[in-house]
A and B are shown apart, each in its own frame.
Chain A
Amino acid sequence: MRLLGALPIFSAAFAAIYAVAMYFNIALFVYYPAVKELHWTDEPNLPGPAMYWYGWISYAILGAAIISAAALFLPPRWKERIFPRSAWAVPLLSMLFVLYVIRDWFIH
């Protein structure tokens, strides 16, 4: 039951890490759909496009799991105050941030 209490912070951390990973293009792995290959890093010799989306999501899952596990040790009073708001506010801010990052698609 105590473990379930970390789920809201997992969601908050996931959104934040995903946005950062996407912005800096930090992917756990890269997928090349033309040749159906997964690689840990970019392989410029392979035919593109390279897909980073799966790597960003994996990175966010890993990071959020670590952060939410650490958050279990926070005092209960903090959890009750921070978790419910951060569970939706951080994803909302991440969505707005992502929209700002990709704004070039809409203004050029």
Chain B
Amino acid sequence: MITTLLIVHGLLAVALLGAITHQALSVWWPIRARATGFVSSFRGVRSAAYTNAIIALYVVTAFIGGVLLYPTYRLTVRVLLGQLRLNAANGIFEFKEHLVAIGLGLLPAYWYYWRQPLAAEHAGARRALTALLALIVWWSFLVGHILNNIRGFGL
């Protein structure tokens, strides 16, 4: 059951990573002309359309990770990392835990500033919030991947 949840958590994280990266690039590096290449097309999306999907994916991914998987992690993986003296691995997960919590709190402001119609005077807040959320999602994804490589399955 835990392995299944871990895989679902990972798949949702991939979708979230793609969505937030599309949106972050489109606001920080917008295209000036019609998109033709892969990178331009990746940046040239209707960024506001991603907002609700990003919020839903974030909440569901955090719920599976934080509520359904985290207790097992604390009981098994964290103890093992301590025994192996992998302090940095424990530390990067601790930071992930805190970032995800702060990210959950960030979602109301993120939704507010991405509401349609987009207010031009809030473009700066939108860019900053999207960048923070992208940072949190990227960090969480990479840390999850690293820890999964250390001790992921067969919990």
A-side residues, CB < 8 A to B, are 4-5, 7-8, 10-12, 14-15, 18-19, 22, 31, 33-34, 36, 49, 51, 53, 56-57, 60-61, 64, 84-85, 87-89, 91-92, 94-95, 98-99, 102, 104-106, 108
In the bound complex, CA of A68 to CA of B64 (Å)? 28
Chain B CB within 10 A, most for which of A11, A57, A64: A11
Q: Are B70 and A53 in contact (CB under 8 A)?
A: yes
A8 in contact with B113 given A51-B71, A88-B129, A99-B95 (CB within 8 Å): yes
The 6 closest A-B pairs by CB, nearest first: A105-B91, A14-B105, A33-B71, A11-B109, A88-B128, A87-B109
Chain B residue with Cβ nearest A5: B112
Chain A residue with Cβ nearest B76: A33
Q: Which residues of A contact B94 (CB under 8 A)?
A: 102, 105
Binary A-proximity of B13-44 (CB < 8 A = 1, otherwise 0): 00000000000000000000000000000000
Q: Are A53 and B101 in contact (CB under 8 A)?
A: yes
Cβ-neighbour of A88 out of B95, B97, B109 (below 8 A) = B109
Can you report 16 A-B residue pairs in the complex whose CB atoms are below 8 A from each other? A4-B115, A5-B112, A7-B112, A11-B109, A12-B109, A18-B102, A33-B71, A51-B71, A56-B101, A64-B105, A88-B109, A94-B102, A95-B99, A98-B98, A106-B91, A108-B87
Q: Report, as a range, how many residues of chain B touch the other chain.
A: 35 or more
Chain B CB within 10 A, most for which of A18, A60, A95: A95
Chain B CB within 10 A, most for which of A4, A5, A33: A33
In the bound complex, CA of A35 to CA of B135 (Å)? 35
| Given pairs A84-B125, A105-B90, A106-B87, 16 additional interface contacts (CB within 8 A) | A7-B112, A8-B112, A8-B125, A11-B106, A15-B105, A18-B98, A18-B105, A33-B75, A51-B70, A51-B74, A84-B121, A85-B125, A88-B125, A92-B132, A98-B99, A105-B94
Chain A CB within 10 A, most for which of B66, B71, B122: B71
In the bound complex, CA of A31 to CA of B68 (Å)? 13
Q: Which residues of A contact B101 (CB under 8 A)?
A: 18, 53, 56-57, 60
- Nearest-neighbour CB distance to chain B for A6, whole angstroms, equals 9
